[in-house]
Amino acid sequence: MTEIFIDGDACPVKDEVYAISSRLGLAVVVVANQRINIPRDLGVEMVVVEKGPDAADDWIAEEIRANDVVITADIPLAARCLEVGAYALGTNGREFTLDSIGGALATREIKASIRETGILTGGPPPMTARDRSRFSNELDRIVHRALRG
């Protein structure tokens, strides 16, 4: 059965995931370095991993299986999940695919190089209602594809 894994640290779309998973009866696993408030009545599991820069990513990458879905803004984690046949959706509503992940990784490296020179690149813009709607629509589409597996 398809599960949804959330890279929980700073994920702005957890409520949207809970709504879709509840409607479809899917299990959700939130993975983070510290406890996060989760709904108690929707079958959401909270996994707290040790502190460390990649501890949550490593846990998810070890547990995720083909036709599961990961929600993450972490491009290397998305790549690891795609390798096992899982689906990966960015918190901005953009799906990572085997065709797009190479470009996303390259862009990430370029931005990291720019930051290392001292140039401030800023973070992502705040989520709007339109962004949340786009994310929800894309997650619903991906989950249905995963269920057909």
Question: Residue 84: its pLDDT value, please?
Answer: 97
pLDDT value for 121: 66
Residue 105, pLDDT score: 62
For 44, the domain range is 3-148
Q: For residue 117, what are the contacts with CB-CB under 8 A and spacing of at least 6?
A: none
Q: What integer pLDDT is reported at residue 63 of this predicted model?
A: 98
Average pLDDT by stretches of 10, the chain with 149 residues: 93 96 96 93 93 93 98 94 97 90 71 74 82 97 95
List the CATH number of the domain containing 52.
3.40.50
The reported pLDDT for the residue numbered 108 is 64
**Dihedral sign (CA 80, 113, 102, 147):** positive
